[in-house]
Amino acid sequence: MVGFIATTDFDWYSYLRDQRDLDEVNFWQPSGGRGFHAIAPGAPFFFKLKSPHYAIGGFGYFARNSVLPDWLAWDSFGRANGAPDLQAMRERIRKYRRRFGGELGDGFHIGCLMISQPVFFEERDWIPQPRDWAANIVSGATYNLDSGEGQRVWLECLARAATRQSAEIRMVAEERARYGEPVLVQPRLGQGTFRIAVTDAYRRACAVSGEHSLPVLDVAHIKPYGEGGEHEISNGLLLRTDIHRLFDRGYVTVTPDYRFEVSRLLREEYENGRTYYALQGQRIALPRLPDDQPSTLALRWHNNQVFKT
């Protein structure tokens, strides 16, 4: 198995190390122009501190990547961006863009690497960086975790994390000890990663109206998380804000055959709704990948439990 060892900003690391109960973090990159294809979802992603530390300060599991406006990254991840507020995050982006000659306006598009189940070590638990780390590596490098320095880093990370982290990480450590091979972890999406995953799956357009303006688009859980719904793309819809509110309150729904339906009660209770009735019966836009398309079981649950007939 291949993992990625990423050079990591110390301020980002130290801020997140002091946070608690984060199930995801956004490892953002100041330039939004590059994709990230170095490792597969579920592969280990290591946080390597730069000079003068030269150590692995933690790790997590790569979930997905995207290029986002900085405000959307902040709205989605908040303090999991490694900063106390959007202004502080923008100042840090400016610092790096200034260093590398990028634009310095008020808003930025940034590369976002979403990392699940992050672990941040205290300084006493830092792991020495790979002994064969090349001095000219700028952003990071892939390492084989089956042997050599990659294996050493991986096993030491698991050993430090197994006593203090989640059952999933303990399971990985136990499986590694039993079978002698690293294994991919199915990354569990947090709320922020779920939001971005659904937004990208619907190609950043409302599934019902086709609206593309990101500031007025929301991600709706079909079956709410509090009702047992999961942070999975198939349990999400990208909707214009007003349609999202009506969906959550049961005045509109999407049927298991992907048709938009409007309750008669919208007209009866509010004496209006012409905008929405014009969309009645329309087939919604769907993600390209079949596994990302709305779950018919979740849609049936919404039809039966939430929609006002």
Give the Cα separation of 110 and 98 in Å (integer): 14
pTM of the full structure? 0.89
pLDDT tens for the chain, 309 residues: list them: 999 999 999 999 999 999 988 999 999 998 766 678 999 999 999 999 999 999 999 999 999 999 999 999 999 999 999 999 999 999 999 988 887 655 656 678 999 999 999 999 999 999 999 999 998 998 999 999 999 999 999 999 999 988 665 544 555 544 544 444 555 666 778 999 999 999 999 999 999 999 999 999 999 999 999 999 999 999 999 999 999 999 999 999 999 999 999 999 999 998 888 899 999 999 999 999 999 999 999 999 999 999 999
DSSP conformation letters of 252-303: EEE-TTSBEEE-HHHHHHHS--HHHHTTTTPBPP--SSGGGSPPHHHHHHHH
Q: What is the pLDDT of residue 189?
A: 86
Q: Enumerate domains of the chain plus CATH numbers.
A: 2-179 (2.30.130.30), 191-305 (no CATH)
User: Whose structure tokens read 């198939």?
Assistant: 234
| Nearest by Cα to 130 from 122, 142, 138 | 142
Phi, psi of 114 (to 5 degrees): -95, 120
Phi, psi of 121 (to 5 degrees): -85, 145
Cβ atoms of residues 137 and 7 within 8 Å: yes
